[in-house]
Amino acid sequence: MATQSPGSFESDVLARSVGHTSIRIPQTQPSGAADRIDQIGTVVAFPKNSQLYGEGDTSTYLYKIVSGFGRSFRTTTEGGRQIVCFYVPGDLFGFEVGDSHTLSAEVMTDSKVRMIRRNSLVSAAAQDEDVAHQLWLCVNREIRRTQEHILQFGRPARTRVASLLLEMARRIPAVEVEVLSISRQDIADYLGLRIETVSRAVSRFVKLGAITLSGNRKITIRNPSVLAQLIS
């Protein structure tokens, strides 16, 4: 709705950019204000691209991003990869029905991740109403993220790319803005496209003046409304 003059603002890849996107950031919770959930478990530092868990691993922990970014995915027998979700600070994930993981997860950058034993969290929730409330919110957010992802498919390629750019801009907290650099391959695997297709979409957005690039992975959204209307 409220657009803003292009070029008034700079931010990093998938950074929140202008106008309404930036003001929505608080939704992703300032990540630690007074959440009791953040008293449980241990924060562990993971180096870029390291694995949190793999498909088939025993599911012992839930994971909450403190700083950095994560992705969950499944690899296919033919070497393909479908990314199911990107995670940003404040996101809790790793939920499983059974006792083993059905997806893999990695951090995308050097990250700090709070690891919380499933058992601990469930019993903490039984004791502490605040923890229960936070946990409930987190699982509902996970459901929502995944549902929104599904809504992207079945749209044309450039629409999906535009959506992803806007969504990440909205979700990434201001503090983290400078950090994330996401590869074309990650974008492609998230959207179910080939990297060439993603590249062509990005090029088109540049020509339209919707975004600018500085370095391959630094995307600055100059004119969100152009992207938004591609989605329509």
DSSP 58: B
Does 3 bind its own copies (CB under 8 A)? Our answer is no
Let me know if 200 is exposed, middle or buried by CB neighbors in 10 A (0-12, 13-18, 19+): middle
Map residues 199-218 to x or -, x wherever contact with DNA holds by CB under 7 A. xx-xx---------x-xxx-
- Which partner in DNA, its own copies, none is near 20 (CB below 5 to 8 A by kind)? none
CA distances from 83 to 70, 107, 189 (A): 11, 12, 5
- Under rule CB under 8 A, residue 139 binds its own copies: yes
Q: Please list every residue from 34 through 73 that binds DNA, using CB under 7 A.
A: none
Size of the site for its own copies (CB under 8 A): 35
Minimal distance in Å, beta carbon 162 to its own copies? 15
User: How far, in Å, CA of 119 to CA of 96, rounded?
Assistant: 12
CA count, 13 A, side-chain hemisphere, 179: 18
Query: CA-to-CA distance for 175 and 178, rounded, in angstroms?
Result: 8
Residues in region 171-210 near its own copies by CB under 8 A? 192-193
Note the residues at the interface with DNA (CB under 7 A): 156-158, 183-185, 192-200, 202-203, 213, 215-217
